[in-house]
Amino acid sequence: MEKLQSRKNFLKVAGAGSLGAILLSGNSCGTGAQPVAEEAAAPVVDPKSFNLGLQLYTIRDAMEKDPVLALTEVSKIGYKYIELANYADGKFYGFAPTEFKKIAADLGLEILSSHTQVEAKGITLENAQKMAEDHAVLGTKYCVQPWINAEDRNIDSYHKMIADWNKVGEIMKAQGIKFGYHNHNFEFANINGVVPYYDIFLKEMNPEVITMEIDLFWLNKAGQNAVELFNKYPGRFEIFHLKDGYTSETPFFEPVSVDMAPVGEGVVNFKEILAAKEVAGMKYMIVEQDCSFTDIKTSMKNLTTKVLA
């Protein structure tokens, strides 16, 4: 079986410009963004009281350039939790687990979760144990499978991967961590009468050791109704990925889209979905965008003044 590896594109980051320029422009992916003026008045309510998290893949190039400076900005914006997106060779963003844990704690951030790839050909139990131990030292509550490669999106691979993930989940559970799965839209494609997310994933994953991290943007792109999903499988969705989209279109199942939007700026009905959070079993909310400091500020503002207010 292959060794565990992080999402393949985590380290393929844009190289142009310094992190200081990125933070000043408000944009951590690409160029051309205009400087963003700071809010004139401080918020009345501490945004950290809303217990929101940020998936650090959103600011992946900033994390590559200077993790401490990037995380300082995340904390200033008001995020309480972070979800990591770079685990390799026993380290997180190049730091040993104890080192990264201290960096986050010193900035007032709690490490909630970590996206960590387990490939289709499997993971040895030895590697799974090492992964679990490293994440236990980090102090994270969840370790999440974020992606399935295109060549592995077939019925046979899904069955095999889920069997492996159940084993990984047991190893994680022994370390006080819950394994998870983060969806896109391809899991909802009909394959010869089988819809993998419903007919394989939810049926074969052991809910005692694996929870679903439901991505509401991709769920919308696949034409799925979140509330109906929660009612059918109550308690299975402990983490919500909050991501908006500017458009609604005919459902599609290739994970390619250019219309990701800050929360509250698009078509996803977050108020309706969050009204069903207890049925879903939701415990945490994590913002994910692709990928801008400006966008995560806008998401924080909309969540704290409109969606959750």
Proportion of the chain above pLDDT 70, given as a percent: 84
User: What average pLDDT is seen over the chain?
Assistant: 87
Q: Which bin fits 109, alpha (ψ -120 to 50), beta or left (φ > 0)? A: beta
What are the residues facing 53 on neighbouring strands?
A: 81, 286
Q: Is the pLDDT of residue 283 over 60?
A: yes
- Domains of the chain (ranges; CATH) run 19-307 (3.20.20.150)
- With cut-offs at 50, 70 and 90, classify the pLDDT of residue 280: very high
Is residue 195 within 8 Å of residue 222, measured between CB atoms? Answer: no
- Long-range (24+ apart) CB contacts under 8 A made by 244-251 are 244/217, 244/268, 244/270, 244/299, 245/217, 245/220, 245/221, 248/220, 249/221, 250/223, 251/185, 251/188, 251/221, 251/222, 251/223, 251/224
Q: Which pLDDT tens digit goes with each residue over 116-168?
A: 876 545 677 788 999 999 999 999 999 999 999 999 999 999 999 999 999 99
Does residue 143 have a cis bond before it (omega within 30 degrees)?
no
pLDDT at 41: 55
Buried b (16+ CB within 10 A) or exposed e, 151-161: eebeeebbeeb
| Residue-wise pLDDT tens digits, 190-232 | 999 999 999 999 999 999 999 999 999 999 999 999 999 999 9
Phi, psi of 12, deg, nearest 5: -90, 80
The confidence score (pLDDT) of residue 24 equals: 35
- Check: pTM over 0.85? Answer yes or no: yes
Q: How far apart are CA 267 and CA 269, in angstroms?
A: 6
Tens of pLDDT, residues 3-60: 334 443 433 333 333 344 344 344 445 433 444 555 555 546 899 999 999 999 999 9
Among 118, 178, 104, which Cα is nearest to 146's? 118
Which residue is it, tokens 């889209």?
257
